[in-house]
Structure 1
Amino acid sequence: MKSMQIMPNNLKRQYDLHAEEYRAKVCEVLDSGWYVLGREVVTFESEWAAYVGTAHCAGVASGLDALIIAFRILGIHEGDEVIVAANAYIACVMGITINGGTPAFVEPDEYNNIDVTRIEEAVTPRTKAILAVHLFGQCCDMDAIREVADRHSLYVVEDCAQAHGNHWHGKRAGSLGDISCFSFYPSKGCGAFGDGGALCTNSPEWDAQARVIRNYGSERRYHNSVVGMNSRLDEIQAGLLRVKMRYLDEMNEERCAIAAAYNAGISNPLVIKPKVRPGADSSWHQYVIHVRGGKRDALKEFLAQRGVGTIIHYPIPPHLSEAYRYLGFGSGSFPIAERAAGEVLSLPMYNGMTAEEQSWVIESVNAFEG
C-alpha cells in the first residue's frame, strides 16, 4: 500500500520559511545584553495591540497566565460564575477556577463554538462574565454574546489562543470583548519558539494592573502593591514574535488555501467537514472534521497506517476530566460536547504543506470505508 509520512503539524516547515530572519533576531537580542522586559517586549506589545485593534497589550508568560490575570483583574473569585463552552480546552476553565470562580458550561453549536442561543439560560445572579473561546480558528458570534452580556451587565473575555488574525464582521478577534487573551505557544498562528502570551484591552487601568500582576505585583522594583506572579514574556520570544507577525496574514492565507483544498476534495460520506459561520472567517488553526457512526478512532488508525498523522482536539471535555470531578458532572451532563469529543479529528494543517501532501490526505480520507 502506498504511504507518505505527514505530520499533523510540522513547525519546522514554518521556521524554514524565514529561518535567517529568526536567527538574526536571536543574535540581536543576545548581543543587546537585555533579556527581560526590554525593548523587544515593549515594541512587540505596541505592534500586537495595533494589529489586534486595541489600545493596550501586556505580554505574559503563557496563554493560561493571560486568562488567570484577566479574571483576577475582573474580580472573579469564589462564588462567581463564568459562562464557557463545554467543549473548550481545559486551560480555559483553569483560568476561571484558579481564581476561585465556577465554570457555567454551555453546549457548542455546529461551528464548534459556544451556542449563543443557550447562553441566556446559563445566566444566574452569580454570573459575572462570559468567556468567548474562538475554537479551532473561528470567531464566536460576538454580536449575540455582547447583547446578552450588556443586558445582564456581564464582562466579556475573549480567548483568542487559536484565532490570531481572525475577524468578526471585519473586526479582529481580540478587539471585541473587554479583555482578550492570547497564547503564543509554538503551534498557534503567531506561535513563539517556546511559551508566551498576552492580554489586550482598551482599558488603561486594566492594562496597568496586568503589568503589575505579571511582575511580582510590583510597578516599581521592590515595591510590591499586590501579591503578583512571575509571568513575563521574555525578550527573545518577543523578538521572534515580531518577526513572525510580519507574515501572519500571509500564513493565514496559506492555511485558508489548504482548507479550501480539503473542502473541495474530501467527499467521504462518513465525514462532516467544518463550516465557517456567516460574518466570521477562519485562520484554520485546526481543520477539524466530525466522523459519523462511531468511526472516528477507526479512521484515525486507518490514516496512521497510510502515514497521515492526526490529533484529537479534545478527547475529554473539561467537565468529565479528573481535575473537575469535584464539580459533580457525570456522563450525559452535556451530551453535545460529549458526542463531539467522540467524533472530532484534526487533519494535518501547517504552513509549508505541499500540494502532494494535501492530495494524499484527501485521498486517504476518501479511501476509508469504516
Structure 2
Amino acid sequence: MTQNSINNIPMVDVQAWHRPIQERLEKKALEILRSGRFIMGEEVEAFEQEVAHYLGAKYAISCANGTDALVLTLHAAGIGPGDEVLTTGFTFFATAEAIMQVGATPVLVDIDSETFNIDPLELERSITSRCKAVLVVHLFGLPAALSEIQAVCDRHGLILLEDCAQSFGASYHSRKTGNFGLLGTFSFFPSKNLGGFGDGGLIITSDLKAAETVRMLRNHGSACQYYHECAGYNSRLDALQAGLLRVKLKHIDEFNAQRRKVAQWYRELLKGTEVIFPEDRENHIYHQYTVVLPSGRDMVKKRLASKGIASAIYYPLPLNKQRALVGVASEYELPVCEQLSEHCLSLPIFPGMTNSQVETVASTLIKEMC
C-alpha cells in the first residue's frame, strides 16, 4: 500500500460529515421526491422560517445560489450604475462580480494581515464621493470588525451590506452575522458550513421593504403570479435543497463546534513552528483553516499532495490582479492582499475529521517545510 493511499485526506469529506445524519437526509429526499412539489412550496417556506429564527432575522428569502443572493441584495439596496461599492480585495470573485452585474463599480480595500478581513482604517481612506455602500465579507468564518466598519458607514452615510457566504452560524457581539447590515447574504454551496447538495443561497433582513423587493426580484419581478412590476430574475431555491438544508440546520451548531475542535488540534500541533496560524477567536467558525507559510508555499502544497493530503490556496490572486477587473479596479494597491496571496495555504477541515487525520496533516506540513 502506498503512502498516498494511506492518507487520502480531502479538503472536505462530505461522507464523514453526513454519516451521523445520512438516514434522515435520505428519508427527507424520498419524502420530497414522492410529494411531486419541487420548486418553492411548503418545504421552502418552512426552511425560510426556520433559518430566519436561527439567524435572528425578521425575514429570510432563499434563492438559487450565493452569487444571486449578492446581486438581489445590491438591487434591493438601490445600488446601480454610477455607484461605487467598497469591498475587500481578498475574497472570491463573486463579491466584486455581483457589484459589476448591477452596473456599479467595486472599490477594493486592503485587509488586516491577522484576520484576512477588510481593514477598517483602509476602508475609511478609500471612500470617494461616489461610494454608496460597503459590502463586507466575513472571510474563512471569522466576522469582520463590524463595530468599526459600521462606525465608518455611519460617519459617511454608507449602506452596510454583508457577504456571509463563509460565516453561517458565526456571531459578533452575540448577534449572528448578516444582521448588522441592511441585508446579509449566504451561500449553501456544498462545502459551506451549512452546505447543500447543489447550489443555493439566502438573503436575510429586518427591513420589510427590502424583503419584499428581494422576494419580487427572485421571481421574475413578480409579487403576484403573472403580474410583473419589473424585470427580475429566475432565482428560486429547489424544494429538495430546502428540505435537506432543514435537516442539516438542526445540527449546524454541532457542526461548527466540530470545526472549532479541529482548529484547536491544529493550533496545538503547529505551536512553536514557523507556521502562522489563526488565533483562537470565540466567534470564528472556521469555514477554512488558513495558515501563512514563510516561504515555499507552492512546493509545500505539491509535497502534501504527493502524500495524499489535500490543500488549497484561497486566494492565489487578489481581486486587483484579476483580468476581469482590468480598467475597473486594477489600479488599487493592496500590499497585504498581495503578500498573503503568495503565502497562504488552507488545510483540510470538516465536521467528522479525526484527531489522527489532523496530526497527519500537521506533521506532514511541518516536515515538508524543511
C-alpha contact (below 8 Å) 2:106/2:329 kept by paired residues: no
Q: Offset at 1:276? A: 4.9
User: Segments of 4+ in structure 1 off by > 3 A?
Assistant: 267-270
Check if 1:313 corresponds to 2:314.
yes
Q: Which runs of 5+ in 1 are unaligned?
A: none
Check if 1:65 corresponds to 2:68.
yes
Q: Deviations over 1:132-160 (max 9, x none)?
A: 10000000010001111111111111111
Q: Deviations over 1:71-124 (max 9, x none)?
A: 011111121111101111111111111001111111110200001111111111
Query: What does 1:130-279 align with in structure 2 at a 5 Å threshold?
Result: 130-267=134-271, 269-276=273-280
1:353 match: 353
Q: 2:100 aligns with which of 93, 97, 100?
A: 97
2:43 match: 40
CA distance in 1, matches of 2:280, 2:137: 15
Q: Offset at 1:267? A: 3.9
C-alpha contact (below 8 Å) 2:313/2:345 kept by paired residues: yes
One-letter amino acid of the structure 2 residue matched with residue 119 of structure 1: L
Percent of aligned pairs sharing the same letter:
36
CA distance in 1, matches of 2:278, 2:110: 17
One-letter amino acid of the structure 2 residue matched with residue 366 of structure 1: I
| Further displaced range: 350-359 or 185-194 | 350-359
C-alpha contact (below 8 Å) 1:111/1:276 kept by paired residues: no
Counterpart of 1:310 in 2: which secondary structure? coil
CA distance in 2, matches of 1:19, 1:99: 40
Q: Offset at 1:268? A: 6.5
1:8 match: 11
C-alpha contact (below 8 Å) 2:322/2:330 kept by paired residues: no
Q: What's the Cα RMSD here? A: 1.4
C-alpha contact (below 8 Å) 2:3/2:308 kept by paired residues: no
Q: 1:285 aligns with which of 284, 287, 306?
A: 287
CA distance in 2, matches of 1:190, 1:233: 15
Q: Offset at 1:354? A: 1.7
C-alpha contact (below 8 Å) 1:59/1:197 kept by paired residues: yes
Q: Which runs of 5+ in 2 are unaligned?
A: none
Counterpart of 1:156 in 2: which secondary structure? strand
C-alpha contact (below 8 Å) 1:267/1:366 kept by paired residues: no
C-alpha contact (below 8 Å) 1:62/1:184 kept by paired residues: yes
C-alpha contact (below 8 Å) 2:108/2:329 kept by paired residues: no
CA distance in 2, matches of 1:245, 1:258: 20
C-alpha contact (below 8 Å) 1:138/1:276 kept by paired residues: no
Q: TM-score, with normalisation over the residues of structure 1?
A: 0.96
CA distance in 2, matches of 1:350, 1:153: 40
One-letter amino acid of the structure 1 residue matched with residue 247 of structure 2: V
Q: Deviations over 1:281-327 (max 9, x none)?
A: 1111000001113x111111121122111011111112211211132
C-alpha contact (below 8 Å) 2:192/2:287 kept by paired residues: yes
